[in-house]
Structure 1
Amino acid sequence: MHPIEHLRYVARSSGWGQESLVRETAGALLSFGHDPAGLVTACRSMIARRPSSGPLMWLAARVLTAADPRSEIRMCLREMTEDKTARFLALELPVEATVCVLGRPDLVGDTLRRRGDLHVLVVDVLGEGHHLVRRLSEQDGWVAEVAESGLGAAAASADVVLLESAAVGPGGFLAVSGSRAAAAVAHTTGVPVWLVAGRGAVLPAPMWDALVARTLAGVEPWEADREVVSLALADMVVGPEGLVTVAEAVGETDCPVVPELFCAAD
């Protein structure tokens, strides 16, 4: 497949997790390793079409600032493949805990499939929760599908609320709609909120601001599929380095600031 067609295919595809999205994009970008102008255009195009992905912006920023783009692409792929976020989450969750999740989170879903002792409340936001319920029902453990109207009750009844985000910055984290309400209910009822953010999700302020602006542009807040949630509502963050405080998680990022990515795609 021609690299341009490959990128278009990736941009049109839906339902992919962040690792798959980065892997497929990286494979296409390898073809532009000796074409700096084409590489910039390809990265802009993907960011414009998949604006809510922190790892995709992380990949593009690292590649565009690297002396050897092809080597950097391979390094990013290796780091993404070796991400231990799901493994750390599986180790940190208490035995036989009741957890509340929203929709169909990728890393959290991987964790729940590793653990068969958890009680899982899956809130069916955006009509995606039933996919996770079906997958978990095939294994040991207890799982219940919760209608969106029961979001608050599910959050208050859990031992921990798990909210997954593909983009985190100093201004908050981007998560599926309903996450702000779930976090607020948990916060006021004393239920811990753990933010799950895998490799490449944490961005510096300029990159975070650009991502949020593009993701939410032209959409009424009550109609958006995603929303920004305050970091003040998260108690801990589970990421590639394990379970850490919010300050530790957002204090450092290996994503460079690349103004060229903010320009309109050609």
Structure 2
Amino acid sequence: MHPIEHLRYVARAGGGDPAGLAREAAFALGSLRADPANLVVASRRLIERHPDAGAMWWLCAQLLVSDDPSTLAWELADRLMDDPVVDRLVTAIPADATIVTVGYPPAVAESLVDRTDLLVRCADTEFRAGDLVRRLDRAAVAAEPITHDELARAVAEADLVLIEATAACDRRVLATLGSQVVAATATSAGTPVWLVVPTGTRIPHQYVTEVARRSIPDDDGWRASVDDLPLDLIDVVVNADGRTTEVAVALRPDCPFAPELLRTGIV
């Protein structure tokens, strides 16, 4: 596929795994070998089409400040493909634990398929919990969907709640729709809330603020595509370095700030 067509495919793709979309964008941009001005245009268009994908902001910011973006694009694609967060989470979850998840968290799902000792109860959002249950069933992991009526009891009985970030910094966390309710319920019940931060989601606060602006409309909160998750509801963070209770430290951005992504108009 020609790189331009590949970029159009990524831009048109709906939903899906943000890291997977960013990885495909990295492949396309690595092959395109665009000059700086065209790279800015391509990056802005990708962000415009996927404003709530933190990994896309992470990718584009690093490419825009690089002296060799084509080579870096391939390196970043590899990092997104082999996310160390998955292995960190696999080893961090206690044996024989009962876990509550929200929707379909891609990195969490990738981790849970290797833990057949767990019981996973999946709270639904955007009709995605069924997808997680089916995937875990195929991997011989005990999993069951839970309704809103069952949420409080399921969370109270769980050993921990796993929530996956879509974009995060040490000031603010955006996560899957429904995460705030589940986290607040867990805090009330005394159940630990673990925030899983996949590679590509720790970005500068200016970007997180912009993701929130585009994804949580002020005039109609019902059209939000992410939840604003208060940091005080998070007990543990699992990132590429492992598990920690130092929430703000673990959420510090691991990519530079490229102001070009926040500008509009002609380059």
TM-score by length of 1: 0.93
| Deviation of the 1:15 alpha carbon | 4.4
Provide Cα deviations, 1:141-198, integer angstroms capped at 9, x if missing partner. 4211112333333222211000001211233211122110110111121100000011
Aligned to 1:246: 247
Aligned to 2:144: 144
TM-score by length of 2: 0.93
- SS of the aligned residue for 1:125 comes to coil
Aligned to 2:124: 124
Q: Measure the CA separation in 1 of the matches of 2:265 and 2:134.
A: 39
Q: Measure the CA separation in 2 of the matches of 1:134 and 1:74.
A: 32
Aligned to 2:215: 215
| Deviation of the 1:212 alpha carbon | 1.4
| Deviation of the 1:208 alpha carbon | 1.4
Percent pairwise identity? 37
| Matched ranges for 1:104-119 at <5 A | 104-119=104-119
Q: Bigger shift: 208-217 or 109-118?
A: 208-217
Cα distance change, pair 154–172 in 1 and its aligned pair in 2 (3 A): farther
- SS of the aligned residue for 1:110 comes to helix
Aligned to 2:259: 259
Query: In the alignment, does 2:85 pair up with 1:77?
Result: no
Aligned to 1:167: 167
Q: Measure the CA separation in 1 of the matches of 2:15 and 2:143.
A: 22
| Matched ranges for 1:32-47 at <5 A | 32-47=32-47
Moved over 6 A (4+): none
Matched letter for residue 3 of structure 2: P
Cα distance change, pair 97–165 in 1 and its aligned pair in 2 (3 A): same
| Deviation of the 1:201 alpha carbon | 0.7
**Gaps in structure 2 of 5+ consecutive residues:** none
Provide Cα deviations, 1:234-266, integer angstroms capped at 9, x if missing partner. 111111111122122123x22111111012377
Q: Measure the CA separation in 2 of the matches of 1:132 and 1:257.
A: 34
**Gaps in structure 1 of 5+ consecutive residues:** none
Task: Kindly tell me the number of residue pairs found equivalent between the two proteins.
Answer: 265
Matched letter for residue 103 of structure 1: G
Matched letter for residue 110 of structure 1: E
Q: Measure the CA separation in 2 of the matches of 1:206 and 1:139.
A: 39
